[in-house]
Amino acid sequence: MFKHKNIVPFLLSLGILAAILAVFSVISWSWCFILILIWIGLTTWGSFDIRQSYFTDVFYKKLRHDGHTLSLTFDDGPTPITEEFLDLLKSFNAKATFFCIGKQIEKHPDIFKRILAEGHTIGNHTMNHSKAFGFFTAEQVVSEINCCDAEINDLVPFKTRLFRPPFGVTNPSVAKAVQETKHQVIGWSIRSLDTILTDEEKIYQRVIGRLQPGEIVLLHDTSAKSLRVLQRILSYMKERNWHSVTTDELLNLHAYED
């Protein structure tokens, strides 16, 4: 299986064998260099492609679905424009999952509570969404998760079990942290790139080009651009009788614990 815990011992064994053979001039030392490049490549790929579940188990889509449901997810809120996203979702009778940043919850507690009141699911997206998240130690990741949980617990009497790492980065630190905090890592199968692309048509086509029941779509409730794209996505889904449900419903997971 393509897992860090399996790949590292395998490549290490090959590396030792290659080094021994190179010492006795059976093969070139370049083979050792090639193995190092393979390790770097696999580690980088596993870190940034959350669908690989390379370092830890990740839920990123529903493989066996009912033919009608998928899950829209929103990262980095709540923000003032989140309320417009909620209005739009309500108009289509759609449910979604919002992965919230702790400091944003602190700024907009009423919007956070509205997300829950309207039947959407909330998940942990760390306290600060640091750009250096990929370089954090396990202890720092645990602190980010726990601080976000604390912000949530100030407003609601339960803890979310769902966690999405910033930028979708996973590594040994994240794996160790979620094992300690007992969160389930939620990824995505379709990344809209709505915070990177400026052309709304490209964002829309990127999503609908792969949109099918069972998919988990990554969007952001942070801009009017994403709001306009969401309107088109929801209309596209309605034409096909597809419905957005919360991620925990799609995957049959327990989203919260007391």
- For residue 220, indicate whether it is catalytic: yes
DSSP-derived secondary structure letter, 196: T
Helix axes 200-208, 224-239, angle to 10 degrees: 40
Q: Count the Cβ atoms, other than its own, within 10 Å of residue 160.
A: 24
- Active-site hit among 120, 129, 220, 243: 220
Quick one: the chain helix, strand, coil %, rounded to 5?
A: 50, 15, 35
DSSP H helices in the chain: 4-23, 30-48, 82-91, 102-107, 109-117, 138-153, 172-181, 200-208, 224-239, 247-251
By C-alpha distance, which of 85, 68, 63, 51 is closest to 245?
A: 68
Q: Which residue has the tokens 């009423």?
A: 110
Q: Pick the catalytic residue: 75, 76, 194, 221?
A: 75
Question: Using CA atoms, how far apart are residues 98 and 75, in angstroms rounded to an integer?
Answer: 6
Provide the annotated active-site residues: 75, 220
